[in-house]
Structure 1
Amino acid sequence: MSVLRSGSPHRPARSLATVAGILLALVSLLLGLPGTAGAAATQRAPEPRHPEQDWAGSQIARHEGTADGGAPPAAPLASVEGVDVSSHNGNVAWSTLWNSGVRFAYVKATESTSYTNPYFAQQYNGSYNAGMIRGAYHFATPDTSSGAAQAAYFVSHGGGWSKDGKTLPGALDMEYNPYGATCYGLSAAGLVNWMKDWFATYKARTGRDAVLYTSTGWWKQCTGNSAAFGAVNPLWIPRYGSSAGELPAGWGFHTIWQYTSSGPTVGDHNRFNGAMDRLRALANG
């Protein structure tokens, strides 16, 4: 057996193929060619999306051009003031909102199957502790995973329901895609089926029919103005003007109206279409 010593003219055995492979990987990395490094790069998980423009209504004014002056329209006698918040609101001063007349809140809990609101506990529990009726919502990304997977993730990360008189059914936020194709690259039938999957899974997990948040403009463009959900799922509609305006097909009335995204206090402002006893009824199921 030969032993290599310092100064020996022999080098450790390394095949020319190995050396060539290393050089190819370096060249691929620098030039973006499909070599060894390029193949490794394509196997990495995609970068997570950054939730900066993905709360309920974040895309409505941008796409629909609706005016939002921040001034609340005149309230009917039978209505209840509410807000919705997400991570971009940070820690919320719930006592201030309560003192201003806010009595219910929706809090963003999740998005896709990878994101949870880091402020969820402060916002969800804080609104409850202030005396509000509160619920959670899920920002849908139908191009990242199935409706069933996203509903299950939502329920497991804050979107559950209990009959305590203070918890609203979960809400599904369906609106313009902040990351790419407006309708998430799906056909109208594909989106309707995705939502059916989400709603069925949510009901199987909680016993409740979830609320649907969507705008008439997006609904017409992306679902063909489907009437598949109006008889079952309460409608939460955004429209920043003097009225809720035209409703999507299938609904004869709205349950919640998001009437401004820049109110005098934190969060988007909403109005429940009914008196407090009806809001409690929605919470109790």
Structure 2
Amino acid sequence: MAGRHRLALAAFAATGILATMAAAPATAEVSGPDVSSWQHIDGRGIDWHAVRASGNHFAMVKATEGLSYVNPYFVPDSLLMRAAGVARGTYHYARPALAPEPQAAMYAAVVLGQNGMLDLPPVLDMEDSGGLSPAALIDWTHRYLNTVQALTGRTPIIYTYPNFWRTAMADSPEFHRYPLWIADYRGNEGPEVPGGWPAWTFWQYTDSGRIPGIAAGTDINVYSGAQGDFARFANMPSFGSS
């Protein structure tokens, strides 16, 4: 019985992916929310078909934090968003007071890779210095990113805020090979880009957006095109794995 249910779910997900993503316009603005347990008010689920129908092509989902936290909604969100044809990014909230390699290993084990259909690259969420000096935090970040790339086979994305990067990371220019996801809510035409990055890849331009299918307010992000065609970047069905 359980095996038949899993096969039925897989068939349903594949049908939804191919039907919805094939219809996505290549030149339209590519946008999407990022969600965690906070968007599941009173345990309510997210209607990912409504999210996709409202024009959102991707979503970033919190997977893990530190060495002990796993988002309890990560697995159902991952399954349902794939069924709806929403490309999936997943992120780890860094706790630099703890060693980076075990955090990277836990994240990679929970997300079961980031190289399948509709998978964006893995994301490291950098908002907490853990009390480390900039030099120590820069070293910590290199070690985490190297480990995650070795485990997932993809170049990770870095998420941060301009002020955090300028201060906690001493505005380091050492990470340009990693795509940048930057949070900047000032309402400008574009975000402030720290660290001398040549371009931003995702911009989180609000932390109080509303999207059909999500009961709570949510961050909303837009893709710049810096990594080329979004379909290829997100391993959409017509391109296979990157």
- TM-score normalised by structure 2 residue count: 0.78
1:138 matched to 2:83? The reply is no
- Specify the structure having the higher radius of gyration (Cα): 1
Change (3 A) 1:275 1:102: farther
The one-letter code matched in structure 1 to 2:168 is C
Q: What is the CA-CA distance between 1:159 and the residue it aligns to?
A: 5.8
Aligned equivalent of 1:25: none
Q: What is the CA-CA distance between 1:276 and the residue it aligns to?
A: 11
The one-letter code matched in structure 2 to 1:217 is N
Alignment of 1:18-29 (within 5 A): none
Aligned equivalent of 1:216: 162
Inter-partner Cα distance in structure 2 for 1:276 and 1:99: 24
Aligned equivalent of 1:160: 113
1:273 matched to 2:227? The reply is no
Give per-residue Cα distances to partners, 1:226-255, cap 9 Å, x unaligned.
Answer: 00101x110000111233332011311110
Give per-residue Cα distances to partners, 1:173-196, cap 9 Å, x unaligned.
Answer: 001x3xxxxx32100011110010
Change (3 A) 1:122 1:198: same
Deviates more, 1:109-118 or 1:85-94: 85-94
User: Which of 168, 173, 179 in structure 1 is aligned with 2:125?
Assistant: 173
1:82 matched to 2:46? The reply is no
Task: Indicate conservation of the 8 Å contact 1:228/1:250, yes or no.
Answer: no
Alignment of 1:1-285 (within 5 A): 79-90=29-40, 91-143=45-97, 145-158=98-111, 160-164=113-117, 166-175=118-127, 177=128, 183-230=129-176, 232-240=177-185, 241-265=187-211, 266=214, 267-274=218-225, 278-284=229-235, 285=242
Larger strand proportion, structure 1 or 2?
2
Q: What is the CA-CA distance between 1:283 and the residue it aligns to?
A: 2.5
SS of the equivalent of 1:160 reads: coil
CA-atom RMSD in angstroms: 1.8
SS of the equivalent of 1:223 reads: coil
Inter-partner Cα distance in structure 2 for 1:274 and 1:156: 29
Give per-residue Cα distances to partners, 1:133-190, cap 9 Å, x unaligned.
Answer: 11210000101x21111111100111621242x1011100001x3xxxxx32100011
Runs of 4+ in 1 over 4 A off after TM superposition: none
Inter-partner Cα distance in structure 2 for 1:279 and 1:163: 15
- Structure 1 unaligned blocks of 5 or more: 1-76, 178-182
Inter-partner Cα distance in structure 2 for 1:277 and 1:224: 29
Task: Indicate conservation of the 8 Å contact 1:79/1:275, yes or no.
Answer: no
- Structure 2 unaligned blocks of 5 or more: 1-26, 236-241
Q: Report the number of matched residues.
A: 200
